[in-house]
Amino acid sequence: MSEPYYPEGEYQLLDSGNERKLERIGEFVIDRPSPQAVWTQHLPVKDWVSVGAAYERGESGGEWDFNDKMPRKFNIVYNNIYFQIKLTDFGHLGLFPEQAANWDWMRALIRKRLERTKNANLNVLNLFAYTGGSTLACSQAGAHVVHVDAAKGVVDWARDNATLSHLNERPIRWLVDDAIKFVKREERRGTKYQGIILDPPSFGRGPKGEVFKIENDLIPLLRACKEILAENALFFLLSCHTPGFTPVTLQNQVAEVVTERKGKIEGGEMLVFEEGSKRALPSGAYARWYASR
């Protein structure tokens, strides 16, 4: 298992268990479902009931139970990125702390490459980019980024995060588009990227109703990404939260993208560690390749 990793910022995993997780976000504590947390909670019941908000899933969706002092929207800083937190109807916040280790990994790779190549541009494509954590991390390191998501609302949300993070003047293209259609167009245009990031959902819809099912559509998308990965590519990162898509599964998929390229593939579970106990909460899987030259 990876060593406990605690990025600086206004997020902490306080406890988990009984298929729930207790999180401190800014000055607020919330309680959300976590189906993989099939163990016993460490903290006493009083810590779990005195929260700002709790989210419950039902047969027809989900619902938040707020106390009077809990705002629906506020800002935090986490891993040197500003995020606007929104308690959405889906139980999401717009923050995925399990990705922080990947953000640091990409920052380090990009900075090292740019230091070596001096004034060369380094172009990164972020697909299913959501609220932009990976986009902003790469931009902070000096990359030119294309941010693609199918939902206009979350692209606008990501742009707000860029403004909060003082990155709104950086070279970032914000696009509302279907991932597969966009990559195919980039292939026809001859566009190439030194870095590609994918965090696909299990199921999603494009801006014109296009359906994405990870079991059917991920492999064709990866094949298309292979065609736009530059000869001097630096990295390729694939992550997801879909049951059955294990680190080994993702490593095998990434290997098909980077065949005959010099470099290393590595993978694992994305983990968030509880403060105090250091117990790990698995939160998806990742596989990543980086060039050896």
As a whole number, the mean pLDDT across the chain is 94
Instruction: Identify the pLDDT of residue 248.
Output: 97
Mean pLDDT of 54-80: 90
Mean pLDDT of 55-65: 85
Instruction: Identify the pLDDT of residue 1.
Output: 55
Considering the segment(s) 11-86 as one domain, its CATH architecture is Sandwich (2.60)
Considering the segment(s) 97-291 as one domain, its CATH architecture is 3-Layer(aba) Sandwich (3.40)
Mean pLDDT of 189-205: 92
Mean pLDDT of 40-57: 94
Confidence category of residue 59, pLDDT binned at 50, 70, 90: confident
DSSP per residue, the chain = -PPP---SBSEEEEEEETTEEEEEETTEEEEEE-TT--S---S-HHHHHS-SEEEEEETTEEEEEE-TT--SEEEEEETTEEEEEE--TTS--S--GGGHHHHHHHHHHHHHHHHHHTT---EEEEES-TT-HHHHHHHHHT-EEEEEES-HHHHHHHHHHHHHTT-TTSSEEEEE--HHHHHHHHHHHT--BSEEEE---SEEE-TTS-EEEHHHHHHHHHHHHHHHB-TT--EEEEEE--TT--HHHHHHHHHHHSTT--EEEEEEEEEEEBTTT--EEEEEEEEEEEE--
- The pLDDT of residue 158 is above 70: yes
pLDDT tens digits, residue range 215-258? 888 999 999 999 999 999 999 999 999 999 999 999 999 999 99
